[in-house]
Amino acid sequence: MSHRFILRHLVPTVFGLAALLVAPLSAQDFSASTIVAPGAQLEKISGEFSFTEGPAADAKGNIFFTDQPNDRIMVWTVDGKMETFMKPAGRSNGLCFDGEGKLIACADEKNEMWSIDVKTKKTTVLFSTYGGKLLNAPNDVWVHPDGALYFSDPFYKRDWWKRGPSEQDVQGVYRVAKGSDKLVRVIGDLQQPNGIIGSPDGKLLYVTDIKGKKTYRYDIAADGSLSGKKLHCDMGSDGMTLDDQGNLYLTNKGVTVFDPSGKQIQHIEVPEGWTANICFGGADKKLLFITASKGVYGLKMKVGGVGSQ
């Protein structure tokens, strides 16, 4: 069943409809913010989920996200409809759209990476092993402009698994070229890599070590290899996104924003126990869409998004 959620105080070009409050939230003062739209407040879009994750926007600004415990992928459309896109959904976690409009999903149920044709909902398993051994579980994924996938592979034991302990010697980050199923481990020295995002020009990759409580930046070479590891900030994160000014958004207890130099410039309070992930969406890509435990939230921004996540 579809549900229509209508919000107030947010520009119709973002939400595509008029303003009506779903759930009142305590106001946070964003008056001095350089990135939040004037007068904007965090709005709760829905709280009907078990644990939300992996938001990604398609070319029109519709936002797909996962409700992993309920094994479904949801979509929140630019005209304000909340719909179930796919169920079951392979216990999908992180999502990202590729350049062809296919939805790449970290399908956690069998430790696979999927490509989903959004029109037909046909799924294709891209890979599930590295070095002949089962991956830990693809968690978050970013698609490079050249079509290569970069994804994190931490190990979180799941209740639905019918498998043994980790078969990999590290919790790593991998790259796989477009059209290939050959994985290359590009990072192997982090405790527990999780959120991952790259710059729109394909030259920088950000990876968070959630257990190590740090986020790093890497240079991406022409062949896809990484170099120049640099500490970006002393904060771990679950998910992350970038805006069109190069600011990096991290999630854990709310959303914390760092400028390109790694200086904190904003904190956005979210009234949930854990904030899992984030992306920009809406018709003008200026809606900050936040997945946080049982709820999803929106905040109108001055800045815009630069990609699917």
* pLDDT tens column, 18-56: 333 344 566 899 999 999 999 999 999 999 999 999 999
| pLDDT score recorded for residue 27 | 84
| pLDDT score recorded for residue 3 | 35
Q: Is 13 helix (H, G, I), strand (E, B) or coil?
A: helix
> What global pTM score does this model have?
0.92
Query: Structurally, how many domains does the chain consist of?
Result: 1
Mean pLDDT (whole number) for 5-12 = 34
The answer to whether position 45 is within a domain reads: yes
The answer to whether position 167 is within a domain reads: yes
Q: What Cα–Cα distance (Å) separates residue 252 from each residue in 51, 77, 149, 169, 179? A: 14, 25, 24, 27, 34
Residue 15 has pLDDT above 50, yes or no: no
The answer to whether position 19 is within a domain reads: yes
Amino acid 218 reads Y
pLDDT digit string (tens) for 227-277? 999 999 999 999 999 999 999 999 999 999 999 999 999 999 999 999 999
For residue 172, give the H/E element and its range.
Answer: strand 172-176
Mean pLDDT (whole number) for 178-194 = 97
Q: Rounded to 5 degrees, what angle do the CA atoms 168, 208, 128 make?
A: 35
Mean pLDDT (whole number) for 277-306 = 97
- Supply the CATH number for residue 166's domain: 2.120.10.30
Average per-residue pLDDT for the chain = 92
Residue 295 has pLDDT above 90, yes or no: yes
The answer to whether position 309 is within a domain reads: no
Q: pLDDT confidence of 71, banded at 50, 70, 90?
A: very high
Task: Report CA Rg, the chain.
Answer: 18
| pLDDT score recorded for residue 9 | 34
Maximum CA pair distance of the chain?
A: 54
The answer to whether position 305 is within a domain reads: no
pLDDT digit string (tens) for 114-171? 999 999 999 999 999 999 999 999 999 999 999 999 999 999 999 999 899 999 999 9
| pLDDT score recorded for residue 5 | 33
| pLDDT score recorded for residue 187 | 98
Residue 102 is classified by DSSP as P
Task: Express as a percent the part of the chain with pLDDT over 90.
Answer: 90
For residue 255, give the H/E element and its range.
Answer: strand 254-258
What's the domain range around 13? 3-300
Q: Rounded to 5 degrees, what angle do the CA atoms 156, 91, 211 make?
A: 25
The answer to whether position 8 is within a domain reads: yes
Q: CA 256 from chain center: how many Å? A: 15
| pLDDT score recorded for residue 16 | 39
The answer to whether position 92 is within a domain reads: yes
Do 126 and 156 meet the contact criterion of CB atoms below 8 Å apart?
no
Query: What is the arrangement of strands in the sheet containing 183-187, beginning at the earlier edge strand?
Result: 140-143, 149-153, 172-176, 183-187
| pLDDT score recorded for residue 156 | 94
Q: Is 70 helix (H, G, I), strand (E, B) or coil?
A: helix
